[in-house]
Structure 1
């Protein structure tokens, strides 16, 4: 199993942040998006928030590849619809590359 940690910012607006959290409650998530995550060999995914900064932890199988997931998502209309909705709330980190959403974090410490 591999762990991936990523970061992204939300727009700093309490109403948008509340709506973003609404969409991420288990009962409001889209089953097609959940299925796409599992189909990509992501075994567990958690998102944490402080202020408007998001932190995602993904536990994946050894068969997970970000490029493969991106290719699968590009062909999935429901995932594309979800991503468009999420951009209402999200904004790229200042150091993100053009078109980059979630930015991979570097591990700098382990106990």
Structure 2
């Protein structure tokens, strides 16, 4: 499992639309996310900076292939036709990125660090 984080700007005039879209994500998109081995996907909004922060866990074995499958899916391309106009990519992102990927520098999972002892 690999945890991933990413960031992108959101157009201030499109925040309400972006929230509306994500309040009712299409079932086909939810299914595709799962079929591409992504779990625990969350997007946060930070105002007034108008930044979106996304985080998820990747549970597959071929990230590039799964992302290519996601990008090629016709329903996802339709979904992106609504979401992409809401977004404003960071100028500092790497070539080929839309959302700027982030480096994980700390993670703590309390449930994994607890040990059960029986007496």
In structure 2, how many angstroms separate the alpha carbons of the residues matched to 1:60 and 1:100?
17
Larger radius of gyration between Structure 1 and Structure 2: 2
SS at 2:85 equivalent: coil
Does structure 1 retain, via aligned residues, the 8 Å contact 2:36–2:60?
A: no
Does structure 1 retain, via aligned residues, the 8 Å contact 2:8–2:51?
A: yes
- Structure with more of its chain in helix, by fraction: 2
User: RMSD value over aligned CA atoms?
Assistant: 1.8
1:82 is the counterpart of 2:84: no
Q: Please list every run of at least 4 consecutive aligned residues from structure 1 whose deviation after the TM superposition is greater than 6 angstroms.
A: none
In structure 2, how many angstroms separate the alpha carbons of the residues matched to 1:68 and 1:8?
23
Structure 1, unaligned stretches of length 5 or more? none
Residues matched between the structures, number? 106
1:35 aligned residue: 31
| Counterpart pick for 1:24 among 9, 22, 37 | 22
SS at 1:88 equivalent: helix
Q: TM-score, normalised by structure 2?
A: 0.78
2:65 aligned residue: 68
SS at 2:4 equivalent: strand
2:11 aligned residue: 11
In structure 1, how many angstroms separate the alpha carbons of the residues matched to 2:87 and 2:81?
10
1:96 is the counterpart of 2:88: no
CA deviation vs aligned residue, 1:45-93 (integer Å, no higher than 9, x gap): 011110210111101215251x223311233111001111111200111
In structure 1, how many angstroms separate the alpha carbons of the residues matched to 2:89 and 2:17?
18
